[in-house]
Chains A and B, each alone.
Chain A
Amino acid sequence: MGIYGLKDEEINHVRRLLEREPNDVEWSVISVIWSEHCSYKHSRKYLKNFLTKAKWVEQGPGENAGVIELGNGYKLVFKVESHNHPSAVEPFQGSATGVGGIVRDILALGARPIALLDSLRFGPQDNLKNRYLFNGVVSGISFYGNCIGVPVVGGEIIFEDCYSSNPLVNVMCVGIVPPGGKIYKGRAEGKGNLILLVGARTGRDGIHGASFASEKLEEDIHSQRPSVQVGDPFMGKLLIEACLEAGSLEGVIGIQDLGAAGLVSALSESASRGGSGVVVYLDKVPQREENMTSEEILISESQERMILIVEPEKIDRIKNVFKKWDLEAEVIGEVIDEEKFIAYFKGEKVVDLPIKLLTKDSLEFDPPFKIRERIPMPILSKNEEKIEGFIKKLIEDIKIKEYIYQQYDYSVQTNTVLPPGRGDSAVLRIKDTKMAIALTIDGNGRYCFLDPKMGAMNAVSEACRNILCVGGRPLAITDGLNFGDPDEPEVFYQFREVVSGINISSRVLEIPVVSGNVSFYNGQGDNRIFPTPIIGMVGILENIDYLITPDFKEEENLIYLLGDLDWLSIEGSEYIKYSYNIIAGNPPYVNLLWEKRLKSFMEDIRKEKIILSAHDISDGGLLNSLLEMSFWGEKGIDITLPEVEDYERLLFGEGSGLIIVEISEKNKEYFVKKVEEYKLKAFLLGKVVRGNFKIKPYIDYPLKKIIERGD
């Protein structure tokens, strides 16, 4: 193996730093750890700018996941991670191991995983290959998540041409640490402390997976199958229980999961964080296959493995926990003071490298960028037939989402108050408290393609509104950034713009970024994916009574639009894409000062419990949001919109900062006063009724046509 995927300048940099020629095993080690996937060499300079601190943030980026305080001693641990490349090659195992991997990140902090959310992108489903990828990914997530008993509570699925053959699979996991529970760090420290490798045996799967994820997919992707790991959720479940049990005992100093670049990354990262070094004896690693080489053992990405740093006097007790759960647990080495990564194999020293070289000294790249030309909006001819077709599609979409979420066990752990596909965010109560958490994951590649910065601002502000709409207060972000090849100047421009858009929104809205992931090199051949930042956000309902659901509640209640109909725009919308096959114009303009006032308003008024239902406006516009509220509440509406020439804009146009709310007649004055107090505006759309779904003077639909299900 030796040198793999490194650039000439990187090779020379290694030789300069080391002042000698590394041996083949060392070149392998350096190659995987310096891969884009592990070293963030194209992105870390930019990610440093993020707002990462707030009163409630206990751990920002840098550990296996971010940690925030919820109150009453509870802490929430969460992170999003992508598994795009493996899923393109083998969708079932690729997505399953994506779930397994992010779950172990949460577990490494000592938290019990309580929820999963997935954000998926595929090519159009009229293509067999794309259908295979879609079905494979959904069943892979279902297979792993259901078996380990962690509910999939939310997500999004979007189809676009640009994701053909290169699906995006971003999975977010959320874990909880109860009062008095310990938060662990991935730290190897304290000379003489032992390195305990636990879980599954090490095999030859996932060799060079990290490097594979750091280059563009070849046309013949099947040759890359050996780079894909194989998941065993049963083993994953045992690992969860055993690690939590071990973590509750004395003597565990640090916990680190084995993910990309296997032992190399886990050991060097934890040594780096602990300011120590490690010496490991590779013969001691339990192996699944015969005659594995030292390189294979070091860089294998076999799943369901973790390392624990354990005090020597407590080692037997900790090992017994894993024995109880029928898992392997072997001491493979120990912590040393000298900041070096040393590995022995068959009595021979095969690796002797400075930790700093592996973790901090890799070259940073800041490639050139080039502004991408905007796509001007053409003049469209009106087409009545398409309106009808689009409405049918929107109704169909609600039902398809229901069908997909049924394949995930969303109710296990008995906390899911608002299940997936039923609201802007999932809501989970926290047992033994009055609190609940709101979780959402959201992104809009189409907007980011048209204007990467504004698109990213839309993603953050929409995630924020998603939390607000269920009665939550947004707390923190985890971001999954998906792009093409960073050495293409237009791609790097998109990356820079997206990071800047996330940054400014996060700062104005005061929602810090506490963890995240970057995936470059997406796209196959000439196919370029849209720049696709995925925003995972968590929020708190200090009291579950603040819960707002999006289903219309009662006839005669008033329906208001917070915001202005003028903000709706058909440019860049789902509607023109569907009906005219056009992706053009500008995405919705995000007025962050408005969003901030809207946030304060919703955070305040939820305590008064006068908002009876709420739903924000996103894909599909005003009409789609109203349809969903009617569908879920099984109620009709009687709404009047201004009579205008461009009514498609009113019905299907999209906009930022818009929320539909239902209030009762008696709270009308109070609501209007409150809206003015926060310098917002609201427009009375109409009311909830028993009969038809009526948007005068444009639409009159029997309610039955909307709510009937095929069963």
Chain B
Amino acid sequence: MRIGIVVFPGTNCDYDTFWALKLVGLDPVFLWHKDTNLINVSAVILPGGFSYGDYLRAGAIARFSPLIDKIFDFAEKGGLVLGICNGFQILLEMGLLPGAMLPNNTNTFICKQVYLKVENNDTPFLRKYSIGEILKMPIAHKEGRYYVSDSELVKLENKKQVVLRYVGPNGEIDSKFNPNGSVNNIAGVVNEKRNVMGLMPHPERAVEKLLGSDSGIRLFLSFLN
């Protein structure tokens, strides 16, 4: 399975994602943002980092990269597109996912292990997890406070597009386990068609017990048929 990892100037989780995909037996390739061809990849990952230095707004400039049009078409046709951290921010800027990202309510960068609850596994990315399962992954961001308007939030929840939520170690949904002030403790969402997913936590940093957690393995394994 060939999976494309998009590299923008300032992307810094490209190698980590490459490593994680290799580890689970996939065939990752880097796609340069100035390329105009997706070279027949089966899925596209927009990894984390600071594309274009996050100047203006996280992800705001990256969406004008030449490859982005191709990714847009690819997603429209049902192709799998996963955005992690800065990649999630880019998907929001592209309009492939609803909502926007605000600076953390702590107003600081936060790097730590968090617990997540799988709210819905009805998406190709989470099909190997069960509903209600608790995952452990690191977050590392300064602009990760997910926001949608109240009316959109109702729609999002009703259509079960909220797939991951920040929780306590035992699945408690409480503001004290919300690291950045995201609405409804939202950590990850999918589009209506379920083929585009964005999440703030880093599954590629959670594929080995040695580094604290291997909760992210099955997300990448889901790319295998």
**Residues of A participating in the B interface, judged by any CB pair closer than 8 Å:** 139, 142, 146-149, 232-235, 237-238, 325-326, 405-417, 429, 431, 544, 711
Contacts and interface: CB of A to CB of B under 8 A. Distances in A.
6 contacts: A146-B50, A146-B109, A238-B10, A406-B109, A412-B140, A414-B207
B211 A411 contact: yes
B58 to A, nearest CB: 11
Interface stretch (B14-22, B89-97, B116-124): B14-22
B188 interface: no
Contacts of A325: 9
B109 A232 contact: no
Interface in B84-123: 108-112
A237 to B, nearest CB: 6
Interface string B26-62: 0000000000000000000000111011110000000
B142 to A, nearest CB: 8
Given A406-B112, A410-B111, A234 B202 contact: no
A246 to B, nearest CB: 16
Nearest to B110: A406
Given A146-B109, A325-B9, A406-B112, A411 B138 contact: yes
A414 B211 contact: yes
A373 B207 CA distance: 57
B193 interface: no
Nearest to A139: B108
Contacts of B108: 139, 142, 406-407
B210 A429 contact: yes
If over half of B's interface residues share one DSSP class (helix, strand or loop), that class is named, otherwise mixed; here it is mixed
Interface residues of B, number: 32
A405 B108 CA distance: 11
Contacts of A413: 15-16
Contact of B20 (A146, A147, A410, A414): A414
A326 B140 CA distance: 27
A431 to B, nearest CB: 7
B37 to A, nearest CB: 17
A590 to B, nearest CB: 35
Nearest to A151: B111
Given A237-B50, A414-B211, A417-B210, 16 more contacts: A146-B140, A233-B50, A235-B53, A238-B9, A238-B10, A325-B9, A406-B109, A406-B110, A406-B111, A406-B112, A408-B109, A409-B140, A411-B205, A414-B19, A414-B207, A429-B210
A416 B138 CA distance: 12
B16 A414 contact: yes
Given A234-B9, A410-B111, A544 B210 contact: yes
Contact of A407 (B16, B49, B111, B176): B111
Contacts of B54: 147, 234
Closest 9 CB pairs of A and B: A149-B12, A234-B53, A409-B140, A147-B50, A414-B16, A411-B138, A409-B111, A711-B176, A407-B109
Contacts of A139: 108
